[in-house]
């Protein structure tokens, strides 16, 4: 039994190491982008922002919208209210901006996907950019997106997203977790194999979206509008997909302030795993789940057998080695100081967190999101 377990752990560790080699390679090979000093955009652009109950987090977005640089005759900003129960709609409607229009979902339609589809329907721009109402961004953000769209063959761009907020353990854990996800996102899009994306920073040419058949309308999942759109793009034309690796393109979002809200978000994300058409996504997530499982199981079984404990510790060190390499690279890009002591604490906690979320995602669960109860299968 012990020999068989050691072989199993060694096999999973080797596979994880190979995966991380590819992730790091993809990160390194993805080129950085910038804007020439004499650049002036010529493409019309629509910024679409769905929102629901964001009144308490709205000010950073408003400040970013006021500061963003883009020719006013080429820009429209469409904020779509998903039946907010607070005064977000009123606050945005009162805000004076020459390019801003605030609209509401009507009738029985609700949810972020419905809000996005309405925004797309209303949009007149040749480039569609999506973000969330709890985000803030650099004043060159839209310029960087337009430049990339105008000078490359990209039809859809995933952009960098950074979590920034209070320095509590939960906030710092989310930041570290997100740094890792950003690294995997960059690599997955470089290899055209993993349709990772984040709706807080996503752009697509309207003509390409029409080729894809419009925005995803999958009612079987209440989450994943971003990754399913990216998956459609990868399946249609892999050469049109790119990651915008530019510090000017970073969008900052806020962390969740409670563990309950954090786990609700992760459950929403995990619930869509079986809806992917690209099985590479399932294999990659399954491998990460398996490695965390064998590490945790080895440490627990090691109470009864020293050799299993040793192999569990070795596996933990192997995983930490690769994770540190990737996280140091992504932290440098986002101008975040990498803290080894905090990483060690988070690394010890991570297998428990990942396995709990992974296990719960296989069950039929009703979870809460912005005051709504959502049923996932």
Instruction: Dump the DSSP string for 268-310.
Output: HHHTTGGG-S-HHHHHHHHHHHHHHHHHHHHHHHTTT-HHHHH
Per-residue pLDDT of 166-205, as tens digits, reads: 889 999 999 999 999 999 999 999 999 999 999 999 999 9
Residue 376 has pLDDT above 50, yes or no: no
pLDDT reported for residue 377 = 37
**Cα gap 120→78, rounded to integer Å:** 9
**Cα gap 299→306, rounded to integer Å:** 10
Least confident of 269-273, 317-321, 329-333: 269-273
Complete edge-to-edge strand list for the sheet that includes strand 135-137: 135-137, 251-253, 161-163
Cβ atoms of residues 251 and 162 within 8 Å: yes
Residue 334 has pLDDT above 50, yes or no: yes
Cβ atoms of residues 338 and 172 within 8 Å: no
Q: Tell me the CA end-to-end span of the chain in Å, nearest whole number.
A: 36
CA-based max dimension of the chain: 71
Q: What is the DSSP letter of 256?
A: P
Average pLDDT of the chain to the nearest whole number? 89
Residue 222 has pLDDT above 60, yes or no: no
Residue 270 vs residue 56, higher pLDDT: 56
pLDDT reported for residue 299 = 87
Residue 374 has pLDDT above 70, yes or no: no
Mean pLDDT over 68-89 rounds to: 94
Per-residue pLDDT of 289-322, as tens digits, reads: 899 999 999 988 888 888 889 999 999 999 999 9
**Cα gap 193→132, rounded to integer Å:** 26
- Give the distance, in angstroms, between the CA of residue 245 and the centroid of all CA atoms in the same chain: 14
Q: What is the DSSP letter of 73?
A: G
Least confident of 21-30, 158-167, 352-361: 352-361
Kindly state the percentage of the chain with pLDDT values over 90: 67
Residue 161 has pLDDT above 70, yes or no: yes
Residue 360 binned pLDDT confidence (cut-offs 50, 70, 90): low
pLDDT reported for residue 344 = 94
Write the Ramachandran bin of 83: left for phi over 0, alpha for psi from -120 to 50, otherwise beta. Answer: left
Mean pLDDT over 328-341 rounds to: 95
Residue 244 has pLDDT above 80, yes or no: yes
Residue 57 binned pLDDT confidence (cut-offs 50, 70, 90): confident
What does each C-alpha distance from 131 to 4, 64, 220, 354 come to in angstroms? 48, 12, 23, 26
**Cα gap 221→224, rounded to integer Å:** 7
Can you give the residue ranges of every domain in the chain? 2-26+278-376, 32-258
The four Cα atoms 70, 71, 75, 81 give a dihedral, to 10 degrees, of 50
**Cα gap 79→46, rounded to integer Å:** 10
Residue 375 has pLDDT above 50, yes or no: no
What does each C-alpha distance from 335 to 53, 201, 227, 250, 321 come to in angstroms? 30, 18, 26, 11, 21
pLDDT reported for residue 145 = 98
Cα angle for residues 144, 224, 23 (degrees, 5° grid): 65
**Cα gap 151→63, rounded to integer Å:** 29
Mean pLDDT over 136-142 rounds to: 96
Q: What CATH number labels 32-258?
A: 3.90.550.10
pTM for this prediction: 0.90
pLDDT reported for residue 368 = 57
**Cα gap 322→13, rounded to integer Å:** 11
Tokens 């057998």 found at: 305
Residue 150 has pLDDT above 90, yes or no: yes
pLDDT reported for residue 31 = 92
Instruction: Dump the DSSP string for 91-141.
Output: HHHHS--TTEEEEE--TT--SHHHHHHHHHHH---SEEEE--TTEEE-TTH
Mean pLDDT over 277-282 rounds to: 84
Range from 230-234, 353-357, 361-365 that averages highest in pLDDT? 230-234
Residue 264 binned pLDDT confidence (cut-offs 50, 70, 90): confident
């Amino acid at each position: 039994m012990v020999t068989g377990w050691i072989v199993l752990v060694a096999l999973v560790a080797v596979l994880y190491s190979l995966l991380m080699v590819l992730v790091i390679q993809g990160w390194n090979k993805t080129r950085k982008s910038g804007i020439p000093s004499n650049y002036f955009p010529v493409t019309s652009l629509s910024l679409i922002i769905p929102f629901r109950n964001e009144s308490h987090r709205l000010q950073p977005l408003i400040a970013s919208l006021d500061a963003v640089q883009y020719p006013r005759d080429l820009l429209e900003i469409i904020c779509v209210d998903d039946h907010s129960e607070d005064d977000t709609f009123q606050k945005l409607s009162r805000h004076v901006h020459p390019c801003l229009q605030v609209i509401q979902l009507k009738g029985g339609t609700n949810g972020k996907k419905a809000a996005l589809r309405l925004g797309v329907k209303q949009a007149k721009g040749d480039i569609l950019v999506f973000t969330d109402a709890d985000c803030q961004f650099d004043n060159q953000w839209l310029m960087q997106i337009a430049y990339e769209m105008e000078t490359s063959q990209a039809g859809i761009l995933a952009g960098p997203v950074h979590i920034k907020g209070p320095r509590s353990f939960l906030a710092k854990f989310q930041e570290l977790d997100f740094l890792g996800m950003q690294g995997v996102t960059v690599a997955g899009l470089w290899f055209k194999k993993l349709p990772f994306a984040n709706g807080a920073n996503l752009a697509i040419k309207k003509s390409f979206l029409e080729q894809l058949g419009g925005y995803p309308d999958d009612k079987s999942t209440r989450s994943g509008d971003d990754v399913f759109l990216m998956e459609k793009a990868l399946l249609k034309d892999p050469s049109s997909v790119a990651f915008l690796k530019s510090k000017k393109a970073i969008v900052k979002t806020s962390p969740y302030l409670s563990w309950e809200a954090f786990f609700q978000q992760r459950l929403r994300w995990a619930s869509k795993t079986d809806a992917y058409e690209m099985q590479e996504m399932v294999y990659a997530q399954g491998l990460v789940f398996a490695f965390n499982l064998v590490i945790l199981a080895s440490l627990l079984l090691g109470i009864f057998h020293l050799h299993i404990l040793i192999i569990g510790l070795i596996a933990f060190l192997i995983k930490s080695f690769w994770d540190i390499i990737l996280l140091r690279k992504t932290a440098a890009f986002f101008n975040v100081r990498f803290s080894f002591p905090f990483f060690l604490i988070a690394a010890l906690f991570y297998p428990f967190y990942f396995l709990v979320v992974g296990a719960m995602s296989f069950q039929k669960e009703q979870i809460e999101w912005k005051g709504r109860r959502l049923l996932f299968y």
